[in-house]
């Protein structure tokens, strides 16, 4: 397949429909490391669609493209959000370390049922709620030293572009209006011949997850129970926007297809998010994009982070079992310790958040910082090489942390005579893991 990363011009109107929201501030500085040969240490990531690790090939001179699904801002960012964003931050850092330009886009679903339901429950304006929680998310990401996306885009500001895509789907016959007068428009999954390739799930599993994750398999009048909503016609007491489709608001999956295609083109290198987005969200978004462009696959690599649990259950807003990044920051927990605690498990693994995990992260951070204050230590070049090797292997942070642990232990025991090692290790840990070891850098 010919590489096509140019943004699809038909998604943009003359006024520049696809604009970006205010993102968060970038880390104050990211140390430059000795050059690496990308061919010698190729980046491999596990691809959900093929169920195997694959090399993420970025041709010389090309720009790496990544789209990561962001938050629905009806509550503060919790450890699950943080773990996902940190995982894809590591991907960005891998590319940057190789000298590869990166174009990274993330959305904010700032209009959707969960946001409206939370606002109604609390008697709050949904716009104010969304703006407040988005602002808090940005603060959390900056504190965690997550490199911001190049384009941070809200669903509301993308509505004209979304409408344009839906019009094209209607014209092609891949979308249809319900005949019940609701104004609702659906995508016909039969129009996507490869539908199901990304998740690999059977139909029964799809139906169960569709019902659980925002779908409406029992809706009367649909051609197929799995058909997803593209446009929700106006309802009393709900926000709606005027459009050529009639008043209403966009569905979830077409939102991400429109934003990703508008900024990144017909095909992207990495589509990312939590593993709860494998189906229906990423499956449906890919089906929308591929039906419009006839370019397959939409993402060369589909990468999914595991869920973070608490007391044996997935951490989620609906369950109310959340540990918030902002609350820990309010308790004066060093964000670098939070980051290290999350890096202690592999990004693809479903895992638990515990007080013990956080304590271990705090102790590790203190030990590493003490080690880099020593005048010398074992070879820093060896540690750098090991970090690059482990992170290139599907972001093996467990192995990467073990390499720094071993170096710190030997250094604190008085081993090693490399006077450049403390500085190089500090730079490597900051640049590749996003953990500042010089206290002044983390302030």
For residue 320, name the pLDDT band (cuts at 50, 70, 90).
low
Rounded to the nearest integer, the mean pLDDT of the chain is: 93
> Tell me: the pLDDT tens digits for 65-79?
999 999 999 988 899
Mean pLDDT of 17-26: 75
Give me the percent of the chain exceeding a pLDDT of 70: 92
Mean pLDDT of 137-148: 97
* CA 58 to chain CA mean position, Å: 19
Q: Assess whether pLDDT exceeds 80 at residue 11.
A: no
User: Alpha-carbon distance 10 to 38, whole Å?
Assistant: 35
> Tell me: the pLDDT tens digits for 82-117?
999 999 999 999 999 999 999 999 999 999 999 999
Torsions phi, psi for 108 (to 5 deg) = -130, 120
pLDDT of the residue at 315: 62
pLDDT of the residue at 2: 39
List of residues 6+ apart from 341 with CB closer than 8 A:
353, 357, 358, 360, 361, 362
pLDDT of the residue at 40: 84
For residue 316, name the pLDDT band (cuts at 50, 70, 90).
low
pLDDT higher at 333 or 29: 333
pLDDT higher at 162 or 3: 162
pLDDT of the residue at 442: 44
Give me the percent of the chain exceeding a pLDDT of 90: 88
Q: Assess whether pLDDT exceeds 60 at residue 434.
A: yes
CB burial string 239-255: b at 16+ within 10 A, e below? ebbebebeebbbbbbbb
User: In whole angstroms, how far apart are CA 292 and each of 193, 255, 438?
Assistant: 13, 14, 49
User: Alpha-carbon distance 189 to 197, whole Å?
Assistant: 12
pLDDT higher at 15 or 100: 100
pLDDT of the residue at 19: 54
> Tell me: the pLDDT tens digits for 232-266?
999 999 999 999 999 999 999 999 999 999 999 99
> Tell me: the pLDDT tens digits for 366-392?
999 999 999 999 999 999 999 999 999
For residue 187, name the pLDDT band (cuts at 50, 70, 90).
very high
User: In whole angstroms, how far apart are CA 366 and each of 151, 372, 398, 418?
Assistant: 35, 10, 18, 21
């Amino acid at each position: 397949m010919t590489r096509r990363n140019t943004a699809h011009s038909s998604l943009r109107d003359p006024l520049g429909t696809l604009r970006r929201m205010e993102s968060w501030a970038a880390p104050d500085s990211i140390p430059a490391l000795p050059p690496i040969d990308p061919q010698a240490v190729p980046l491999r990531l596990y691809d959900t669609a093929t169920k195997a690790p694959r090399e993420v090939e970025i041709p010389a001179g090309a720009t790496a493209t990544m789209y990561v699904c962001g938050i629905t801002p009806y509550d503060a960012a919790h450890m699950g959000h943080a773990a996902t964003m940190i995982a894809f931050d590591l991907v960005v850092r891998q590319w940057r370390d190789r000298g590869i330009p990166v174009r990274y886009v993330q959305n904010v679903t700032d209009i959707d049922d969960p946001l409206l339901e939370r606002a109604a429950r609390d008697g709050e304006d949904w716009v104010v709620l969304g703006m407040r929680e988005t602002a808090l998310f940005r603060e959390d990401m900056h504190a965690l030293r997550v490199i911001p996306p190049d384009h941070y885009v809200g669903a509301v500001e993308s509505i004209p572009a979304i409408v344009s895509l839906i019009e094209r789907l209607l014209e092609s016959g891949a979308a249809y209006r319900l005949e019940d007068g609701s104004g609702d428009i659906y995508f016909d999954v039969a129009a996507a011949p490869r539908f199901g390739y990304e998740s690999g799930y059977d139909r029964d599993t799809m139906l169960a997850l569709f019902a659980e994750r925002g779908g409406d398999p029992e809706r009367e009048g649909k051609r197929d129970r799995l058909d997803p909503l593209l446009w929700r016609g106006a309802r009393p007491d709900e926000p709606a926007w005027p459009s050529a489709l009639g008043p209403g608001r966009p569905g979830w999956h077409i939102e991400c297809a429109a934003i990703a295609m508008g900024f990144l083109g017909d095909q992207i290198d990495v589509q990312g998010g939590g593993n709860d987005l494998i189906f229906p969200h990423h499956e449906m978004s890919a089906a929308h994009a591929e039906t419009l462009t006839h370019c397959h696959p939409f993402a060369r690599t589909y990468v999914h982070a595991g869920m973070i649990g608490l007391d044996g259950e997935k951490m989620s807003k609906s369950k109310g079992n959340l540990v918030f990044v902002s609350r820990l920051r309010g308790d004066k927990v060093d964000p670098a310790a939070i980051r290290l605690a999350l890096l202690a498990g592999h990004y693809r693994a479903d895992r638990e958040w515990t007080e013990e995990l956080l304590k271990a992260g705090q102790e590790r951070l203190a030990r590493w910082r003490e080690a880099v204050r020593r005048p010398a230590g074992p070879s820093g070049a060896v540690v750098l090489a090991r970090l690059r090797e482990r992170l290139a292997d599907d972001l093996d942070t467990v192995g990467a942390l073990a390499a720094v642990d071993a170096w710190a232990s030997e250094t604190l025991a008085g081993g090693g005579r490399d006077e450049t090692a403390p500085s190089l290790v500090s730079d490597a840990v900051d640049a590749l893991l996003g953990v500042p070891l010089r206290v002044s850098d983390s302030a």
